[in-house]
Amino acid sequence: MANGGESTRVKPRPISGGSTREAELPAVPGVAWPGGVARSESPLAQGLRRFRRSTTALVVDGVALWAIAARISEFGFTPNRVAALGENLILLVNLAWTAWLYASFLRHRGSFAVLERWQIAYLPVYSVWAALVVVMFPPVFGYR
């Protein structure tokens, strides 16, 4: 061995932009949709629990956006960072409006059906972003 008998190990590098990004997307509808709820729990208690989950997810997404922005400012733009930034901005809008609709529901000024319609209507936004990443990133970032 050229390095005096020591073995050279390559340390695995994490994907830039964060490792929990893949878990965020399916979690958004799970924050809002009723699943696994005890039947003895009142609708108000269910709504309050879901509101807490959506606001917690909103805070976590804010931290993720801050981390992505810090990496971009320190190391520059890469396809992964731009894709993560776009997805997290889309997620931020979804979570913020979801929290707002939950707050309306808890104040008895809105219905849960409005929240369900919002979640369903927002799903194509994720699809459009995914299509933009697939179609536009190769020419923009010079993939061959």
pLDDT tens figures, 36-70: 555 677 877 888 888 899 999 999 999 999 999 99
pLDDT of residue 27: 53
Instruction: Quote the CA–CA distance of 103 and 91 in Å, as a whole number.
Output: 18
pLDDT of residue 61: 95
pLDDT of residue 52: 92
Please identify which residue in the block is written with the tokens 């309306």.
Answer: 104
pLDDT of residue 36: 52
Q: Residue 4, SS3?
A: coil
pLDDT of residue 22: 44
pLDDT of residue 16: 46
Please identify which residue in the block is written with the tokens 């970032």.
Answer: 141
pLDDT of residue 42: 82
Q: Taking the CB of residue 37, how many other CB atoms lie within 10 A of it?
A: 13
pLDDT of residue 127: 96
Positions in the chain short of pLDDT 70? 1-39
Q: Taking the CB of residue 49, how many other CB atoms lie within 10 A of it?
A: 13
The DSSP 8-state label assigned to residue 58 in this structure reads H
pLDDT of residue 28: 53
Instruction: Quote the CA–CA distance of 3 and 126 in Å, as a whole number.
Output: 49
Within the chain, residue ranges assigned H as helices are: 21-32, 43-75, 79-106, 112-141
Q: Which two tokens stand for residue 52?
A: 């807490």
pLDDT of residue 105: 86
pLDDT of residue 38: 54
**In 78-113, which positions are buried (b, 16+ CB within 10 angstroms) versus exposed (e)?**
ebbbbbbbebbebbbebbeebbebbeebeeeeeebe
